[in-house]
């Protein structure tokens, strides 16, 4: 038998009003969050799908930002490399004029003076900074200038002439992820873009008896090459040639030392693994490069110059009035420099095109995934607004009914 007390109608009314307020609050929260799923129990299957869509959408948005940055970076790099190409074209025009034979020695000195200023402009381009203040051609050492001008006196010229441009090195190329597991290289280092000849590094130390004494690694142009204990120089040569490094290794027939030759025009970077001295023992380096700058061994023979070497060599020949050198090696060096720079410009253009296509694909995929997420967890605002209005009306009616039905209590008379 159920006992009916005077508190029961009041308690029951409060209980059902609180439940009604909870449903009303949940509906308002769904509208505010624009999601029909507030807890897993609302729709477990849709919630699991929504979590995966949200994770994938977050990755796509990150990839979109990466590709946008890559596009802008490539565009800046392309602009400066085109400027460098224009400077080199002008220098070649002066070389052709100087080799023509119709200009006097004084005229050739005037040409050399202009080339000296163009060398400075070329160095400024090679040390260019992007909008973020980082060096464009410095790789992952983006806060240090890759080239440094050294001034001095040149025979036939005045003082404060550029006598050489030292390459202080750039680190490995940065890269960014543009889709799951897919990366794009961001940088072309100064040792690639502003190089003219294929490099050769030949050790003069006889390495016939060389043996690797412990398991270690060496790095050629940033590519790690593992070496095993007992490896001979021939084994080292084979492993270098089998790697992805853009060099060809061989044993020099005269010195019996290890020799490396670039497969394209670029500065070869050699580095021993920390705690190892393989390249030092082979006579190629004096140790790991400091700040990225080359550190060739004292006895190693190194050939293959940069764009600056070609231009300075041409300028000095003009100061000397050496038309034969200007017309042969001078113009030939400029052609090598231009050919390498134009190939790198084409490479940057290809990377920019890839980044552009990826960016467009992502901007089509992101709305599609957002729509799929909306279908799983999105809220129908028309239904939600209708439901909210009905619940609000019902709640108000319940409150009015409660005010009329609940009897007055002693507290009502004591107010």
> 95: domain CATH number?
1.20.1330.10
Q: Is residue 68 part of a domain?
A: yes
Give yes or no for residue 286 having a pLDDT over 70: yes
Whether residue 279 sits in one domain with residue 218: yes
Tell me if residue 41 falls in helix, strand or coil: helix
Give yes or no for residue 307 having a pLDDT over 70: yes
Domain count, the chain: 2
Confidence of residue 345 (pLDDT cuts 50, 70, 90): very high
Whether residue 226 sits in one domain with residue 283: yes
Give yes or no for residue 335 having a pLDDT over 90: yes
Which run of H or of E encompasses 201?
A: strand 200-202
Q: Is residue 45 part of a domain?
A: no
Kindly state the percentage of the chain with pLDDT values over 70. 77
Mean per-residue pLDDT over the chain, rounded = 84
Q: What is the pLDDT of residue 380?
A: 57
Query: CB under 8 Å to 322, separation ≥6 — which residues?
Result: none
Query: How many Å apart are CA 192 and CA 269, to the nearest integer?
Result: 11
Q: H helices of 99-137, where?
A: 105-126
Q: What is the pLDDT of residue 145?
A: 86
Residue found under tokens 């605002």 = 381
Residue 225: give the domain boundaries.
200-303
* Residue 10: count of CB within 10 angstroms of its CB: 15
Give yes or no for residue 167 having a pLDDT over 90: no
Tokens standing for residue 148: 């440094």
Domain limit, last residue, from 322, 345, 365 = 365
- Closest C-alpha to 137, from 176, 114, 168, 94: 168
More confident residue, 374 or 190: 190
Query: How many Å apart are CA 87 and CA 120, to the nearest integer?
Result: 10
CATH number at residue 221: 3.30.70
Whether residue 180 sits in one domain with residue 96: yes
Q: How far is CA 399 from the centre of its chain?
A: 64
Whether residue 107 sits in one domain with residue 186: yes
Q: What is the pLDDT of residues 91-150, one digit of tens each?
A: 999 999 999 888 898 999 999 999 999 999 999 999 999 888 888 998 777 778 889 999
328 DSSP 8-state letter: I
Whether residue 187 sits in one domain with residue 227: no
Give yes or no for residue 196 having a pLDDT over 70: yes
Q: Which of 25-34, 160-169, 209-218, 361-370 is the most confident on average?
A: 209-218
Whether residue 271 sits in one domain with residue 244: yes
Domain limit, last residue, from 263, 280, 303 = 303
Sign of CA dihedral 218, 264, 70, 88: positive
Tokens standing for residue 290: 């400091």
Q: What is the pLDDT of residues 10-24, one digit of tens each?
A: 676 667 667 776 666
- Beta strand extents in 112-173 (DSSP E only): 147-152, 161-167
Give yes or no for residue 340 having a pLDDT over 90: yes
Confidence of residue 194 (pLDDT cuts 50, 70, 90): very high
Query: How many Å apart are CA 223 and CA 266, to the nearest integer?
Result: 15
- Closest C-alpha to 167, from 183, 191, 189: 191
Q: At what angle do helices 331-377 and 307-320 cross, to 10 degrees?
A: 150
Q: What is the pLDDT of residues 347-398, one digit of tens each?
A: 999 999 999 999 999 999 998 887 776 666 656 556 666 766 677 667 677 6
Domain limit, last residue, from 283, 303, 323 = 303
The b-or-e profile of 209-243 (16+ CB within 10 A means b, else e) is: ebebeeebebbbbeeebebeeebebeebbebbeeb
Q: Is residue 211 part of a domain?
A: yes
Q: What is the pLDDT of residue 300?
A: 93
């Amino acid at each position: 038998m159920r006992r009916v007390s005077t508190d029961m109608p009041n308690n029951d009314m409060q209980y059902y009003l609180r439940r009604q307020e909870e449903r009303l609050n949940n509906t308002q929260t769904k509208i505010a969050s624009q999601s029909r799923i507030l807890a897993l129990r609302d729709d477990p299957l849709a919630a699991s799908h929504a979590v995966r869509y949200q994770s994938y959408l977050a990755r796509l948005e990150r990839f979109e930002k990466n590709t946008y940055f890559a596009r802008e970076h490539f565009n800046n790099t392309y602009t400066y490399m085109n400027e460098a190409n224009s400077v080199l074209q002008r220098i070649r025009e002066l070389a052709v004029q100087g080799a023509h034979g119709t200009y006097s020695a004084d005229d050739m000195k005037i040409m050399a003076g202009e080339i000296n200023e163009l060398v400075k402009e070329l160095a400024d381009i090679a040390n260019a900074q992007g909008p973020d203040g980082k060096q464009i051609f410095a790789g992952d050492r983006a806060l240090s200038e890759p080239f440094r001008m050294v001034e001095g006196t040149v025979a036939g010229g005045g003082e404060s002439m550029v006598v050489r441009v030292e390459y202080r090195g750039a680190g490995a190329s940065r890269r960014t992820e543009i889709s799951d597991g897919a990366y794009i290289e961001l940088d072309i280092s100064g040792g690639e873009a502003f190089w003219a000849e294929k490099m050769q590094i030949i050790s003069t130390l006889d390495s016939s008896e060389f043996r690797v004494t412990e398991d270690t690694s060496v790095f050629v142009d940033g590519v790690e090459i593992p070496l095993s204990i007992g490896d001979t120089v021939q084994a080292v040569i084979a492993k270098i040639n089998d790697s992805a490094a853009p060099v060809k290794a061989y044993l020099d027939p005269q010195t019996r030392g290890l020799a490396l030759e670039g497969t394209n025009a670029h500065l070869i970077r050699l580095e021993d693994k920390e705690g190892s001295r393989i390249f030092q023992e082979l006579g190629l380096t004096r140790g790991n490069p400091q700040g990225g700058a080359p550190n060739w061994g004292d006895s190693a023979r190194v050939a293959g110059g940069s764009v600056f070497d070609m231009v300075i060599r041409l300028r000095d020949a003009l100061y000397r009035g050496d038309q034969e050198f200007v017309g042969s090696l001078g113009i030939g060096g400029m052609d090598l420099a231009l050919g390498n720079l134009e190939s790198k410009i084409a490479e940057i253009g290809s990377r920019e095109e890839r980044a552009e296509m990826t960016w467009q694909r992502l901007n089509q995929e992101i709305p599609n995934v957002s729509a799929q997420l909306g279908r799983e967890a999105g809220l129908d605002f028309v239904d939600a607004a209708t439901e909210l209005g009905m619940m609000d009306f019902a709640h108000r009616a319940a409150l009015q009914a409660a005010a009329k039905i609940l009897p007055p209590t002693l507290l009502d008379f004591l107010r």
